[in-house]
A = this chain, B = another copy of it.
Amino acid sequence: MRSENQPGGRSAAKAATSDADRSFIELARRAQIIDAAVGTLAEEGYAKASLARIAQRAGISKGVISYHFAGKEELLERLVEHVYGQMGAFMEPRMAAAPEPGARLRAYVESLAAYMREHRPQLAALGQVFHNMRNSEGKLRYGVATSEELYAFLEGIFREGQESGEFRPFDVRVMAVSVQAGVDAMFEYWDVHPEHDLEGHARELAELFAQAVRA
């Protein structure tokens, strides 16, 4: 159904092309296109983020996108991968520095806020894709499965705190869903109110959940 258009075609046989197999030009173009897609999604929303619009922002012709990506679907998937990778790399060391459950919860909320401050368009674009991108059957492309990992991670923190007696007993799934919702809402509120005190919000939110979980 989809035509063969792997650029270069150097690695003839296999399906996927790894980054190591790509030329510098290829990698740079892909990065440039992804950046343009992030900006367009963040500023104009999912509906107006057409290939033409993205190409225009990147200063290239529309066909270039089709040349470097199998289609819009692949472009958006690479975009999500890209932002997720960045975010993980940013948070990992900060989370590792907090061993106790209470401190980890606080570190999660506050380091995510720190990332948000410096990457507003990326997170806005991610939100657009998550809320809107659908597969051919009409189902959301990034639904539950994406959040499931996140929930499991938070639940691990909660269980640890409950076992050590630092946290009270509560439903860890509801708590995980609520923490993530609180963080997402913090971003969206700040995205709409750029003058809002993001760090202050993060501290209040961390305190809110510290109170909510404490034994």
What residues on B are CB-neighbors of A185 within 8 Å?
177-178, 180-181, 184
Check B143 against A204 for contact (C-beta < 8 Å). Answer: no
Quick one: given A181-B182, A181-B185, A212-B212, are A174 and B134 in contact (CB under 8 Å)? no
Partner of A201, one of B47, B140, B174, B201: B174
Quick one: given A192-B143, A211-B211, A212-B212, are A47 and B178 in contact (CB under 8 Å)? no
Check B184 against A200 for contact (C-beta < 8 Å). Answer: no
Quick one: given A47-B47, A143-B192, A212-B209, are A200 and B177 in contact (CB under 8 Å)? no
Quick one: given A193-B144, A211-B212, A212-B212, are A178 and B174 in contact (CB under 8 Å)? no
A21 to B186, CA, bound (A): 44
What residues on B are CB-neighbors of A205 within 8 Å?
174, 178
What residues on B are CB-neighbors of A45 within 8 Å?
132, 134, 138, 140
In whole Å, how far is A46's beta carbon from the nearest beta carbon of chain B? Answer: 7
Band of interface residues on A: 35 or more
What residues on B are CB-neighbors of A92 within 8 Å?
none
Chain A interfacial positions (CB closer than 8 Å to B): 44-48, 131-132, 134, 138, 140, 143-144, 168, 170-171, 174-175, 177-178, 180-182, 184-186, 189, 192-193, 200-201, 204-205, 207-209, 211-214
Nearest B residue to A180 by beta-carbon distance?
Answer: B185
Partner of A208, one of B138, B174, B184: B174
Partner of A170, one of B174, B182, B208: B208
